[in-house]
Structure 1
Amino acid sequence: MWKKFRPKQDENVKNSISSNDLLKKNLNENVAQIKEHLGNASDLVIRFIKHKDDPCAFAVVHIDGISNVQDINEHIIEPLLTCKAALSTRSIKEDLEQTITISNIKVKNTLSDILSEIVFGNTAILIHGDTTVLIYDTKEFQSRGITEPTTQTVIRGPKDAFTESLRTNTSLVRARVQSPNLRLESMKIGEVTQTPVEIMYIKNIAQESIVNEVRQRLQKIKIDGILESAYIESFIKDEKHSPFPTVQNTERPDVVVGNLLEGRVAIFIAGTPYVLIVPVTFTQFFQSPEDYYQNQYIGSFLRILRLGAFFLALYAPGLYVAMITHHQALVPTVLLVSIAAQREAVPFPAVIEAFIMEMTFEVLREAGIRMPRAVGPALSIVGALILGQAAVQAGFVSAAMVIIVSITAIASFALPNYNIGVTARILRFLFLIIASYAGLYGVLIASLIIGMHMCGLRSFGEPYLAPFAPFRLNEQKDALFHFSIHSLVNRPSPANKKNEVRMRKIEEGDSSEK
């Protein structure tokens, strides 16, 4: 079993409301308790309803802004105003269940459960003389509409992306997987925020051991609030201190569906458009959904191109500094003379020169992200051109270094996953420092250490470097290269071995006539 690092979590975070706090039979006392625990909030709506000459009274309680007021007025208030008096409390409750036309009904009898439902947008109906409450699903959170992906764009393929609405996100997946085997399990994480979290997988395709591990790790999270999927990711990932991502996040529904069909598990979190996928391997971060929507040769070429861009973004500055500082004999004479002439007026060593340019570009990149969308791209491009040209003319850096840093930056932009790009940016500085002291030997040793670290990484039990370490011949068709769709007969290793075949292999000459 792999070792997991877990942050110490506060066990003293407790709900101020006891789960045994049962309701009273007096309607006014119950309403007063709700007001007290919600701090008499200004958006708390309480409406009392009582028929003339009828001893029974009702109280309709909901939160304004997160509940559908139209549904409450049409399907709850109006039936309550028109329903006839009953002989007993039991017959009143049965009459309400038959009269109110909202389908999703729950019965609660503790104050903590009722408050949880109210703050979640549902409506509670309290009945005088009854210790139970009817809960109706009336939640309606404001959210933006479905738009195109902003971080994972493609030329060919679906153009819809997840939103901050949990139910909208799950519906986008269900629209693509119309199977009764699609499972969805819900829970709430966050002692204060009570953030809804849902696990999605396909029964008989996903391994039960992986689903159980995901479920257990989520249940162990004890924190006051969850604001984004990164909170969940930091708790459930295997190696807390590794620079390599072991949990994938995506805003594309088709990416989630593709991973579900391969036996992986998706984690949806309310309030964020990014869905987590586990387990993952290193090669997944170089795959784009567009690879499956076009010719196999183009897809394979682009995957190799992305992997080459990763290594270029990782090694280019370090290798340049190593060869200029320690291994000039490896540089062609004509090129070496040209570089020496450029560096003649530069007052800094090559490593300092590289650091200045790399940090300048990182600042420009960060400024471009934080600036308004209309200004950000112009700032990055114009800033890089002006500063680069000015730095060369002033003699602070050489033209060769500007070229190296520019190539490195462009290569990092070619990566389809943002997290793996950040990994390359961080490790680039490590190789830069080592190359300045130990040259190519230091770069080689550092590469071996990182390689051994990657071999030891696991993502929910799945080897991080699979299908290369360990080597799996059947999975090579969709790893570094992308074979045609009809040749991908078997699912990858995360899938259930009892259901690893996902299509009938097409034999040569086999055809079906309609």
Structure 2
Amino acid sequence: MKRDKGKLSGTTLQEKYTRIQEALGFSADLLVMHKEFNKGGHCFHIVLLRIDGISDGNGVVELFRSPELQSMDSMDEVIGKIGDHGMNIEHKEYEKDFHKLTISMLEGDTIILFEGREMVLKVSTLKTEGRQVTEPTSQTVIRGPKDAFVESIRINTALVRKRIKNEQLRLERFQSGEKSKANIELMYLADQVDYECLEKIRTRISEGSASLILESGYIEKMIQDNQKTIFPTIMNTERPDEVASNILMGKIAVFVDNTPFVLICPVTFYQFFQSPEDYYHNFNISFLLQTLRFVGFFLSLLAPAIYVGLITHHHAMIPTPLLISLYAQREGIPFPVIIETFLMEFIYEILREAGVRMPRAIGQAVSIVGALVIGQSAVEAGLVSTAVVIVVSITAISSFTMPNYNLAISARILRFIFMGVSYFIGFYGLLLGLMMLCGHLLTITSMGRPYLRGLDNQLSKKDKMMEIRDAK
């Protein structure tokens, strides 16, 4: 048998399907079904190959067992019957490229080989079973749609198409990952998209060197701008309404198979403070909610650093009665204020991570009870003061106001840096750190577009979304 890498060639039918078996390592879930036709003294065979579990062979098997097919007198009639009718077969295509055939089988297709013929019939039989569309788990809202993306890329794109019935909506497909061959699709509006950003995404996905892609986070690392920053420059979401609203504003959505999180780019810093729910309220309420999120972000970022700076360097800024109370609480505490605050913040981070990783039924209870017990015990043991427990609690609650989890992680990292700077230099160092942070944000780009844009630009986008909603 010829070992042509491009075509499936061989002298006998057995050599052909044996080559496919060899390419897939004679896998236990590779099913091979033989069908023999003996009519009018003529005997010819057909072989069906599919991978059990990811393919649904009911339609093809039903076709093979149909009395109408049994009455065929020649191979040409059998091929014509399968190709023209196909009964429950969704899609049929003749293929000769060996590599494409094996990839198709790994995607759930069924391959039909005919004795004495070079052509191979590729039938789409992908199983569509999976998790049903449910409520979002990471981005909950009070008012708004309750559906969320699932692990099927086709269901996810359909959820967005239900919301955008526009002939300009485009969907491009790519395959990336040398070993995983993950399906990736880009969705955008042809008349509004930034084609320079679109071309960058196409190029970076096509030239990506990742050998394994299991989740959209792999693609996020692949397509984001090459810069050192802890701030997210690409947004991920599991809400179809958020993806639809961003596509209508000219953004690009990146769908990856087998993950419920869709990427959106390019984005700005302000978008991470927006919730899909903002578009369902009037402007004044939405503006108030976004203002609260900004305040919560700065509290989660600076509250411990401000407390450390006040206690260490800037006593005069504290009212005298409060200063006396704070120092009375600290009497007998064996650690400096920086160690005390670091200790409580570190314990809180451990509790937060434990609450996320533990089983859902007990995770929340353990994290809440653990925080109360440890905080109370630490105060009674004289390890920390009551004021530190209050500051850490305010910081923790403020961090939950941010709709985007990735931005909250950035604030958690910077919080420890600002605490150290405030302890050694005071508010002067804190001000210098904030200036450096603003300078860093000014240098960040998202797909080549500035990360910081004017708030007026964001307000104009909100007005545009209001117009779109009113038009509907």
The normalised TM-score by structure 1 is 0.87
How far 1:95 sits from its partner (Å)? 3.8
Q: Quote the residue 2:24 is aligned against.
A: 38
Q: Which moved more, 1:129-138 or 1:245-254?
A: 129-138
Q: Quote the residue 2:331 is aligned against.
A: 344
CA contact (8 A) 1:353 1:401 kept: yes
CA contact (8 A) 1:187 1:196 kept: yes
How far 1:191 sits from its partner (Å)? 1.2
Pairing partner for 1:436 from 415, 423, 433? 423
SS at 2:151 equivalent: coil
How far 1:478 sits from its partner (Å)? 4.8
The yes-or-no answer on 1:123 pairing with 2:110 is yes
Pairing partner for 1:178 from 151, 160, 165? 165
The higher-RCO structure (CA 8 Å, 6+ apart) is 1
Distance 1:75 1:177 in 2: 38
How far 1:83 sits from its partner (Å)? 5.5
Pairing partner for 2:149 from 162, 172, 178? 162
How far 1:444 sits from its partner (Å)? 1.0
Q: Is the alpha carbon distance of 1:139 and 1:64 closer, same or farther for their aligned partners in structure 2, counting shifts above 3 Å? A: same
Distance 1:402 1:434 in 2: 21
Q: Quote the residue 2:60 is aligned against.
A: 72
For 1:287, the aligned partner's letter is Q
The within-5 A match list for 1:14-25 is 19-25=5-11
The within-5 A match list for 1:255-270 is 255-270=242-257
Q: Quote the residue 1:85 is aligned against.
A: 73
Q: Quote the residue 1:385 is aligned against.
A: 372
Q: Quote the residue 1:402 is aligned against.
A: 389
SS at 1:56 equivalent: strand
For 1:153, the aligned partner's letter is T
Distance 1:32 1:484 in 2: 60
How far 1:55 sits from its partner (Å)? 3.7
Q: Quote the residue 1:10 is aligned against.
A: none
The yes-or-no answer on 1:449 pairing with 2:431 is no
The within-5 A match list for 1:47-446 is 47-52=33-38, 53-75=41-63, 78=66, 81-82=69-70, 84-86=72-74, 92-101=78-87, 102-446=89-433
How far 1:104 sits from its partner (Å)? 1.6
CA contact (8 A) 2:37 2:70 kept: no
Offset from partner CA, 1:228-279 (integer Å, 9 cap, x none): 1111111111145311000000000000000000000001111110000000
CA contact (8 A) 1:26 1:128 kept: yes
**Structure 2 unmatched ranges of 5 or more:** none
Distance 1:443 1:430 in 2: 10
CA contact (8 A) 2:69 2:81 kept: no
What is the aligned length? 466
Q: Is the alpha carbon distance of 1:408 and 1:27 closer, same or farther for their aligned partners in structure 2, counting shifts above 3 Å? A: same
Percent of residue pairs identical: 43
The normalised TM-score by structure 2 is 0.94
SS at 1:148 equivalent: coil
CA contact (8 A) 1:19 1:113 kept: no
SS at 2:42 equivalent: coil
For 1:43, the aligned partner's letter is D
**Structure 1 unmatched ranges of 5 or more:** 1-16, 490-501, 505-514
Distance 2:182 2:458 in 1: 39
The yes-or-no answer on 1:28 pairing with 2:11 is no
Higher helix share: 2
How far 1:423 sits from its partner (Å)? 0.7
SS at 1:441 equivalent: helix
For 1:96, the aligned partner's letter is I
Q: Is the alpha carbon distance of 1:127 and 1:25 closer, same or farther for their aligned partners in structure 2, counting shifts above 3 Å? A: farther
Q: Which moved more, 1:63-72 or 1:451-460?
A: 63-72
